[in-house]
Amino acid sequence: MRCIVYTETLVLLLLLLNAGSECVVVQQVGTRGPAVAGRAVQLECLWSQGSGPPLYVVQWCKDGDMFFRVTLVPEPRKVVFPTPGVQVVVGASSEHRVTLTNVTAATAGNYSCEAMSDTPDFFVSALSVYIPVLEGEWLAPLEPSSTAASRACVELFLISVYSSQFTEHSEVIS
């Protein structure tokens, strides 16, 4: 099933035409942390509902193909559509977030969230974001040597693609 993604310009035009008070508006799309190969990632869709009709459906697409839809009217219903590289955890997904498990390089892509209000107007708003997948080893955090270090403890990761990119283009400067 193909998705139609409206750009921010069209969303702004819809807001201006409808004075912004009746439209459902997708405000932000993103992830909680990086998408790392072999792990799960949570995609989030922040939307607001105006004073118009209630939210009817929220759907997610990857590279233009719908992979998850939550219909809220008349009763909440979740549907998953088979999509290469995308494995949805239905129980951990809702109209606000989608959890993907077993992330691989095939999971990387352009993800969009589309929200639509119910009849009679069917206002539609969508935003998209490119989500890369990090591959390589995750290094365990070092033991903090001070109180300040314990507050600033950061988990580091090694991206094998990054290091191999620069070995081909290195040159010795005398």
pLDDT, tens digit (0-9, with 9 covering 90-100), for 97-106: 999 999 999 9
CA dist., res. 90 & res. 7, Å (int): 27
- Biggest CA pair distance of the chain: 72
d(CA 125, CA 12): 9
CB atoms within 10 A of CB 49: 15
Domain 8-134 in CATH 3.40.50.280: no
Give yes or no for residue 6 having a pLDDT over 90: no
Positive or negative torsion for Cα 12, 13, 19, 20 = negative
pLDDT at position 158: 29
pLDDT tens-digit map of 17-53: 444 557 899 999 999 889 999 999 999 999 998 888 8
Give pTM, 2 decimals.
Answer: 0.69
The 10s digit of each residue's pLDDT in 80-89 is 999 999 999 9
The residue count of the chain comes to 174
What is residue 121's predicted lDDT score, i.e. its pLDDT? 82
